[in-house]
Structure 1
Amino acid sequence: MKRTTYLVGLAGGIALALGAGLAQAQEHTFKLHHFLSAKAPAHTQMLEPWARAVEENSGGKVKIEIFPSMTLGGRPPELIQQARDGVVDLVWTVNGYTPGLFPRTEVFELPTVFKNDPAAANLAAYDLFESDLKEDYKGVEVMFLHVHAGNGMQMRETEVRSAADLAGKKMRIPTRTGAWVIEALGAIPVAMPVPELPTALQKGVVDGAFIPWEIIPPLRIQEQTQFQIEGANEERFGTATFQVSMNQARWDALPEDIKQAFRDASDREWLAKVGAIWRGTDDFGIKMAVDSGNTHVVLSGDETAAFRAALAPVVDRWVEDVSSKGIDGAALVDKARQLIATNAGAN
């Protein structure tokens, strides 16, 4: 009996010691807040692996707790302010949810600048960050920037093959550059966070949306649409930029080895992988839509060129707009196009 009591006590002591060691090892705990569900590919295939990589790089000193679906409160457009105010440590958010706040980075959203290669755009943004984009991110330390696979058209009832087919249609978009795309095509932009889209489609608040195929499975967009439309060679009509960022004061207080754990998890190799992740989830999404009976429309080369010509003024509008703020928009467009071309096929 005494031996049994001793063994139980010994086992308990070992467990407590191990627990104490683990608690001691995890010296830095972070809350990462975002707007999609825990089932979304962005959560399962990008944010979770990234968080685990940071933890591993830190030798167990870091723990990142991920809170999806705005479970810590607020609405998606408030995420960046939550990070800046230190309400949460880390956020993943869409830059365009706060229009005009990240003007330099918008260059990667523009049609004819972004066409169809998310990995190349991710790497181009990485290459431009320190020299050209960093000024956009006061109050936060950027872990990484990325884009999605690009805005295709997802329509309730309308098969679109030309800008004329969109005349007067109400189209959802999350970014101001996207709103300019819609206006250039003769449609009416309707801004809303993506979780609100299924209800808006179902009720006819919008006729369609410019959004990637990736979002089809988590929001069941195939049930509210009939047509998915993209250009030749998977060309899209611009994209959206995203950021994973940390509160600046929290970052500044970290020891160098912990900062390096985050940097190593957010390097060029990771950004190329993120591009491949979003391309893969996009392919999965369009397959789900087609398997559900939807029509996947791929525009011909001539139809794609006509859209490209119609959208060229969007780039000019952006250059004029940011130039009024003292930003050399024309130079940024040239740099972004050149770096996207240089990094083409990185995934």
Structure 2
Amino acid sequence: MHLIKHAAFAAAFTLSATSSIAQEVTLRFQHFVSPTSANPTYFMQPWADAIEEQSNGRIKVEIYPFMQLGGSAPNQYDLIRDGAIDGGWVVPAYQPNRFPEAEALELPFMTTKSAEEASAAAWVYTQDYLMDDFQDVHVIAAHMHGPGIVHKRGGAIETVEDFAGLKLRGPSRPATMLLDELGATPIGMPVPQFPEALSKGVVDGGVITWEMSPSLKLNELTDSHTDVAGDRALYNLYFIWAMNKDVYNGMPEDLRAIIDANSGMMASMWAGNAHDTGDAVGRDVMIADGNEIATLSEEETARIVALGENVTAHWISEMNDKGFDGAALVAAAQAAVADNIADE
């Protein structure tokens, strides 16, 4: 077991000298994007406000953007585990091969284009397969973002052949595996590095959501935005919203209950819905600025789906070599997605 620094744990609390009933807790959560982007706007801050309101102010939640408390996006999980921060937003894919089972949800065309539906599936899959991986932290929510879109300088993607030679940013192993299969040169990087890489010509574009586009200034740094046809996402990315385990366990029972009431499936779907809301807003910004908005034909999408199946087959083989049942993980992710598609 990893030993939590007691000093960091103690610093999270301000205790009343009179009674435990008056105890106040300040929780410092951190993320790595703009506070105006979708998840902070429509989930993180409302979540923090709900915690404060429901605790009658006994819990104060402070949200710090842009990694203001220190560290980098890839080591966010360790910052939470070690008590450097009380909680935060984690992309497990930013540490390749550390949480391999989570990648099943990130495979090509695995999820629908509804982040809320995908996030419901993510919570189910997390409960069944990932809680051992995340046993060093207290998981509040597990969610996905909306569909990944190809954003690039120059004209929109029209055929698979248009990917040839493009240097494209990808956020995860499954995403970069797909870009490689498409003929692009994939460059893995966390989202905070993407705008600078674009402005310096390190990449020609990349894959990311509509909702992140305005805060990353993709309306200025790129010219076109291409989605695939159909109701499935080209790729997706898996996140957890988590807090330090000792901080959570050290809270009074009634205050833990407030965290619990804002955790699990409802919080996961809330986070997903935040991305759906932000996707609509982000797409409108790109349109308003005159950027080219395109959707691949069904025929070209079918070609990409076939290449995506190659990625999934390769991933299954890799997982088998690591001692996992890759096909079973893919089937479980597919079942979680199928079971959480909203009725029309």
Q: Could you say whether these structures have the same fold, taking a TM-score greater than 0.5 normalized by the shorter chain as the test?
A: yes
Q: Describe how 1:56-71 pairs up with structure 2 within 5 A.
A: 56-71=53-68
Structure 2 vs 1, CA of residues 127 and 28 (structure 1 numbering), >3 Å: closer, same or farther? same
User: Does residue 251 of structure 1 match 2:228?
Assistant: no
Deviation per residue, 1:78-133 (Å, 9 max, x gap): 21111111101101122211112221111111112124122222111222323212
Report what 1:109 is aligned to. 106
The offset of 1:24, in angstroms, is 7.0
> Does residue 57 of structure 2 align to residue 88 of structure 1?
no
The structure 2 residue matched to 1:294, chosen from 291, 316, 331, is: 291
Contact 1:182 1:189 in 2 (8 A): yes
Counterpart contact for 1:115–1:238, Cα < 8 Å: no
Q: Could you tell me which residue of structure 2 aligns to residue 324 of structure 1?
A: 321
TM-score, structure 2 normalization? 0.89
What are the Cα deviations for residues 169-217 of structure 1, in whole angstroms up to 9, with x where unaligned?
1110121111111111111111222122122112211011010011111
Structure 1 segments, 4+ long, off by >6 Å, are none
Counterpart of 1:49, as a letter, is P
Question: Structure 2 counterpart of 1:34, which letter?
Answer: H
Residue 109 of structure 2 contacts residue 232 of structure 2 at CA under 8 Å; is this kept in 1?
no
Hey, what does 2:36 align to over in structure 1?
39
What percentage of residue pairs aligned between the two structures are identical?
34
Partner of residue 46 from structure 2, selected from 28, 49, 65: 49
Secondary structure in structure 1 of the residue aligned to 2:130:
helix
1:250-290 CA distance string (max 9 Å, x none): 22323332222112112323333322221121111111111
1:162-311 equivalences in 2 (<5 Å): 162-233=159-230, 235-311=232-308
Matched to 2:190, the amino acid is P
Whether the 8 Å CA contact 2:156–2:293 is kept in 1: the answer is no
Q: Matched residues in 2 for 1:217 and 1:289: separation?
A: 8
Which shows bigger deviation, 285-294 or 258-267? 258-267
Matching residue within 122, 126, 130 for 1:125: 122
Rate the CA distance shift 1:39–1:95 in 2: closer, same or farther, 3 A: same
Deviation at 1:26, TM superposition (A): 5.0
Counterpart of 1:338? 335
> How far apart are 1:319 and its partner, in Å?
1.4
SS in 1 for 2:215: helix
- Alignment partners' CA distance in 1, 2:132 and 2:31: 23
CA distance in 2, matches of 1:162, 1:138: 44
Partner SS state of residue 122, structure 1: helix
Are 1:57 and 1:265, in contact at CA under 8 Å, matched by a contact in 2? Answer: no
Moved more, 33-42 or 216-225: 33-42
Indicate how the Cα distance of structure 1 residues 321 and 256 shifts in structure 2: closer, same or farther if over 3 A, else same: farther
Which protein is richer in helix relative to its size?
A: 1
Amino acid at match of 2:217: R
Q: What is the DSSP-based 3-state SS (H/G/I as helix, E as strand, rest coil) of the residue aligned with 1:121?
A: helix
Counterpart Cα distance in 1 of 2:166 and 2:250: 50
Of 145, 148, 155 in structure 2, the residue corresponding to residue 148 of structure 1 is 145
Query: Which residue type is aligned with residue 336 of structure 2?
Result: L
State the secondary structure of the residue aligned to 1:136: coil
1:139 aligns with 2:136: yes
Structure 2 CA distance for aligned equivalents of residues 335 and 194 of structure 1: 28
- Extract unaligned runs of 5+ from structure 2: 1-15
Structure 1 residues without counterparts, runs of 5 or longer: 1-18
Return the offset for 1:51: 1.4
- Report how many residues are paired: 329
Task: Compute the displacement of 1:20 (Å).
Answer: 9.7
Provide the C-alpha distance between the structure 2 equivalents of 1:59 and 1:326, rounded to a whole number of angstroms.
Answer: 48
Q: Secondary structure at the match of 2:248?
A: helix
